[in-house]
Structures are given as structure tokens and as C-alpha cells.
Amino acid sequence: MLKALKNKYLSVYYLLVLPAVVFGQRYNLPLKTRLTMPSPYFIEWSYKIDSLFSYKIPEGILNPCISQVTFSKALSMLEQLQCNRIGKAKFESYGFNTGEYSSMNHRWKMLGLRGTIEGKEVLVLDENFDYDMTNDSIYYLPKPVLNDTIPLYHNVYYKTDFKIDRDINYEFLHNDIVHKISEPLSFTVLVVYDSLSKSLTYADLFKMGCGDKLVFEDVLEGEKVNIQVVSSTTYPITKSDFKITTSAGSCRKLLKEPIPIGASSFIIDSFDLIHKCLYLSNYRTPYDWASIKGTSISTDESFTFDLKSDVKLIHVWSTWCQPCIRNLPKLKELNQSLTNVSMLGICIGMNKTKAQEHVAKNNLDWPIMYFESKPDFFKNEMAVEAYPCYVVLDANNKILYKGSNLNQAQNQLEILSMKK
């Protein structure tokens, strides 16, 4: 039964990282260069380990705190599935091909030790992956300095100039195979502001970032195209975003969002960290926005999105999303000030009564659809990755803005409104 459970769990995981279903012809574009970044993109937080048992730490370190980041989430979940005690077992059915597997002999997670030595803050990284931090370098953290130009708030994490740049050799599970990867990574420790003492102190956790980006640059459809992977390259996940530069300018896109190149439109359906490739598809089936259908949150009547207006805004929200709720009064003001904007709300949630209360409280008088679960158009063509989500469409239903920043959406709407 345990084997069946593991098979089911990993099957679900692989569905998240395998390339998505695509539209039209698919292009395999090699990522030809790696661009070194002057400031690493720190994206992966470490998380604390409850027990210090089984780990060797340097003598004389006070207030020790061990945390870790994982390079292979599949192996991390597998360890959790087995109550943090993988032990030795054979996994030929998963394609490891590594003989007996043990969490102690694979480089799939990095340990970090925070504490003080003789009153000085330190960070120790288990760079040789042997669970012994007595044979690793000790990095002394500089005293954090207050920056008068930045407003500081109690218990909020802030960046520091401190970073450790290292070439790390780790192992990553992809498509049932453990791959050995060498990548320039950076590590830092953030600081917290204490409003009582009016000083900065280091947090117990550390953070990891990539020291470079994957970049594709070539001619596509007769046009020079530059595509940079903006997100961390450690995990080839579906939420990665990209900076695309063409003759029309630069824009930021998520996976599956249409990109106009030459006379055609493309989508990035996936990218492969292991083989350093992008997978682009010719977007032959533009999305029909008129197919958005749902029931009114107030009357339960069915309706479709009104596409007659030259300026349109779709806002996606939920009752558990606090930024969504905070922005509802702003949306009301926006709807009153920009009378030529056709608005559509899409509420996703499991508590319709609570959603109706927010609508009534804020006097939202534009069409709002309610869904208890995500509809197909929401997950696929719209590819909404985070709440809130604001989508601005022009007269031709072209996406001019998509993201979580209402101010940016409002700027785009005001520009469109002035043109009319």
C-alpha cells in the first residue's frame, strides 16, 4: 500500500513539472547563453529543522538554528512521506538507477547553521553535503547598518548587502532520473527591524538565489528575439516568468501567455533546466473571451462577458485573499471614475455567502461571476497564477496588462480611456 501511495504522489508531482499540452506546432529552442546577474534573484527560503540531533555543529556556537533548502522537491516529499526516515531502499521503479537510495548519500538538500560565535553572527553552509558542519567554512556576518532612506517596520524582513557566491554541485530529480547539476548560487541572511531598540538583527533562516539566468537569443519568424528566464532556474516550475524583448519592446510573460512575434503569436509552454531548452508553441487558437460564461454572484442568472466596450478589465478575487478584499473599494472608485471601462469580476471560493457580503458592503454594481472551483478557462487560457489578478483588454481583446498590481492596471486603463 505504501508503494502505491508513493507512486500516486510522485505521479501527481511529475504532472506539475512535465511540459504542458500545447497548441499548434512546437519548437525546441536551445537556451544558448547564461547571463550572470549583478544582483542574484533570491527566491528560495530555508525552513527550520526541529531537531539538532544527527548533525555535527562547531563547538562554541550559541543559539544554533539549522535550516535547509531543497533542490529536488520530489525527493523532499518522498522523505516526508516516509516520516523523515528514508533509510536504505531500492527505487528502480522510479528510474533512479542509483542502487540503494538514502537521504544521507545524495546532494538534494543544503543545510545551513545560524548562530553566534564569541558574540558575532555567523552562517555555516554544509557545502559538502555530509551533515557535518565542523569541516565547513564559517562566514561571519557584517553588522547590519540602518538605512535612513528606507522606511522600516517591526518584524519585516529586509535585504542586506551580504552574500556568499558559491558553485554548488547538487542533484535534481527530473522525469524519474537523478541529474547531477553544477550551478552558481548565492546565499544571504536577511535582517529584521526591532522598533523597540531601533536596530536591525539577523533572522535565523538563510535564503538562496541564482547567480545567473538562462537566456535565449536568436531570430524567430524573421525577428530578433531575446528571452530571459527571470525566475529562479533551480526548479523548472509552471510559475516561472520570462522577459521577452523584440522589435516591439520588452514585456514580462508567464508560461502559456501569448507573445506577438512577427506576424504570429507564440506561447512558452515549458522550459527544461536539465537540457537547457525552451519549448515554444505557435499559438494558432487565440482565446475566445466571449466563451467566459458563469452565474451571477447576486442573482444566480447565467451570463457571458460583455465585449462591446473598447476598454475592459477582468479582476479575479477570493474571500480568503486579503489583498483582493482591500482592493474592492479601489475597484469601486475606479469603476465610477472611468465610465467607459467594462468590468467583470470572477470570484473563486467555497463560501458564497461571505462573497456576497463583500459585494454588498462595497456596493459592487458590475457583473461578478462566482465559481466554487476554478473553471477550465481560468486554469488554462487565462493561466491565472496568483490572487488578485487584473487583466486589461483593449478593443481587439488583446491583453495589455496582466498581474496583481492594481495601480499598474489602472494606469493602463487610464491610457486607453484617454485615447477614446
Cα gap 370→397, rounded to integer Å: 22
Q: Give the per-residue pLDDT at 349.
A: 84
pLDDT at position 367 over 70: yes
Residue with cell 487560457: 381
* % of the chain residues with pLDDT over 90: 24
CA dihedral for 89, 93, 94, 99, sign (positive or negative): positive
Confidence of residue 250 (pLDDT cuts 50, 70, 90): confident
pLDDT at position 390 over 80: yes
Sheet strands side by side (includes 311-317): 368-371, 341-348, 311-317, 389-393, 399-403
pLDDT at position 26 over 60: no
Give the range among 181-185, 186-190, 269-273 with minimum mean pLDDT: 269-273
Q: Give the per-residue pLDDT at 307.
A: 77
Q: Give the per-residue pLDDT at 25.
A: 53
Confidence of residue 89 (pLDDT cuts 50, 70, 90): very low
Which cell numbers in the block locate residue 173? 530529480
pLDDT at position 189 over 90: yes
Confidence of residue 193 (pLDDT cuts 50, 70, 90): confident
Q: Give the per-residue pLDDT at 105.
A: 59
* % of the chain residues with pLDDT over 70: 74
What is the mean predicted confidence (pLDDT) over 156-179? 78
Which sequence spans correspond to the domains of the chain? 47-205, 289-419
Cα gap 45→157, rounded to integer Å: 12
Q: Give the per-residue pLDDT at 104.
A: 55
Q: Give the per-residue pLDDT at 235.
A: 53
What is the mean predicted confidence (pLDDT) over 94-108? 52
Q: Give the per-residue pLDDT at 86.
A: 39
Closest C-alpha among 126, 139, 115, 111 to residue 203:
115
Q: Give the per-residue pLDDT at 346.
A: 93
Residues 6 or more apart whose CB falls under 8 angstroms from that of 261 comprise 220, 221, 223, 225, 246
Cα gap 377→418, rounded to integer Å: 31
Give the range among 35-49, 93-107, 374-388 with minimum mean pLDDT: 93-107
What is the mean predicted confidence (pLDDT) over 284-309? 77
Closest C-alpha among 399, 402, 373, 371 to residue 386:
402
Residue 339's alpha-carbon distances to 298, 332, 418, in angstroms, are 22, 11, 12
Cα-flanking dihedrals φ and ψ of residue 25, to 5°? -70, 145
| Between 282 and 212, residue with greater pLDDT | 212
Confidence of residue 332 (pLDDT cuts 50, 70, 90): very high
What is the mean predicted confidence (pLDDT) over 216-237? 75
Q: Give the per-residue pLDDT at 35.
A: 73
| Between 115 and 306, residue with greater pLDDT | 115
What is the mean predicted confidence (pLDDT) over 209-213? 79
| Between 393 and 97, residue with greater pLDDT | 393
Query: Which CATH number, 3.40.30.10, 3.40.50.2000, 3.40.50.1220, 3.40.50.720, labels domain 289-419?
Result: 3.40.30.10
pTM above 0.75, yes or no: no
What is the mean predicted confidence (pLDDT) over 262-276? 73
Q: Give the per-residue pLDDT at 73.
A: 66
What is the mean predicted confidence (pLDDT) over 298-326? 87
Residue with cell 519585516: 156
Mean pLDDT over the full length of the chain? 76
